[in-house]
Amino acid sequence: MNPMVEFCISNLANGSQATYEVLERDPNIDVLEYGCLSYCTKCSESFYAIVNGELVEADSPDALTKAIYQFIEENPLW
């Protein structure tokens, strides 16, 4: 079972698309996008994704990518 990373389409348009593209190429991560994840305040203030049901956010797409990988490493599914 791979970690699941979910993105809001609005946050992708605001800049987290770069993170999405990196994670999409990783065969060990399942990446999904939704029209809305109901984190509108977070969406307008920062870059974020939902990783295995938990909010992970950062100030830049590169920082978000690193934060997601760190979260996955520190919170294994098994």
What CATH number does the domain containing 6 carry? 3.40.30
Residue numbers of the domain that contains 46: 2-72
Number of domains comprising the chain? 1
Residue 78 maps to a domain: no
Task: Please report which residue ranges of 1-78 form alpha helices under DSSP H.
Answer: 9-11, 17-24, 40-45, 61-74
- CB distance 1 to 77 below 8 Å: yes
Model pLDDT, residue 22 = 97
Q: How confident is the model at residue 60 (pLDDT cuts 50, 70, 90)?
A: very high
For the whole model, what pTM was predicted? 0.93
pLDDT tens digit string along 3-48?
999 999 999 999 999 999 999 999 999 999 999 888 888 888 899 9
Residue 58 maps to a domain: yes
Residue 77 maps to a domain: no
- CB distance 35 to 11 below 8 Å: no
